[in-house]
Amino acid sequence: MAASASPGDVPRVAVFVDVQNVYYTTRQAFGRHFDYHAFWARLTDIGNIVVANAYAVDRGDPRQRQFQAILRGIGFDVKLKPFIQRRDGSAKGDWDVGIALDAFEAAADVERVVLVSGDGDFDLLVSRMRERYGVQVDVYGVKALTAEALIQASSTYVPIENGLLLGQSGTS
């Protein structure tokens, strides 16, 4: 079980961002990008961030490297995996297992875990962290593109919407 924060103590928080998932879901649903600065501001209001990992695929392009530098400047540890183009034209660059391992290990040492992803593959992870370690697990995702099982497994579900998006929506 994770150690509980004493009354008056600030809870320790571990954050895990599935960068590819949040990029594609916010783009598909809103035609906009996730606002990592606004997200970080919310995080600092809920506790002491002791782990903040952003998981991305590295294609090696300059704009992507600039984005990664911005994430590091905010406070994220950016974990990269090379983009692999297969002979058949398909691509590989999935961080699900890495996110799951890191989040599960961190859950033993914090009171709260924040997962930014709508990927339904994480529902078992979220349930297991809550059961095994008694941690609160907040899931942030685009409502229309977040698996219902993941929403149900979370302690708190936070939809990514206007306050967590950059730029103006053309449809609002």
What pLDDT digit, counting tens, does each position of 35-47 carry? 999 999 999 999 9
User: What is the largest distance, in Å, between two alpha-carbon atoms of the chain?
Assistant: 57
Predicted TM-score (pTM) above 0.85: yes
User: Of 102, 107, 60, 62, nearest to 84 (Cα)?
Assistant: 60
pLDDT of residue 97: 94
User: Of 137, 112, 126, nearest to 9 (Cα)?
Assistant: 112
The CATH fold assigned to 28-164 is Rossmann fold (3.40.50)
Q: List, in sequence order, every beta strand (DSSP E) within the chain.
A: 12-18, 48-58, 77-82, 84-85, 91-92, 112-116, 136-141, 156-159
Domain ranges of the chain: 28-164
Residue with tokens 């875990």: 113
Tens-digit pLDDT string for the chain (172 aa): 555 555 568 999 999 999 999 999 999 999 999 999 999 999 999 999 999 999 998 888 899 999 999 999 999 999 998 876 656 654 556 899 999 999 999 999 999 999 999 999 999 999 999 999 999 999 999 999 999 999 999 999 999 999 999 986 544 3
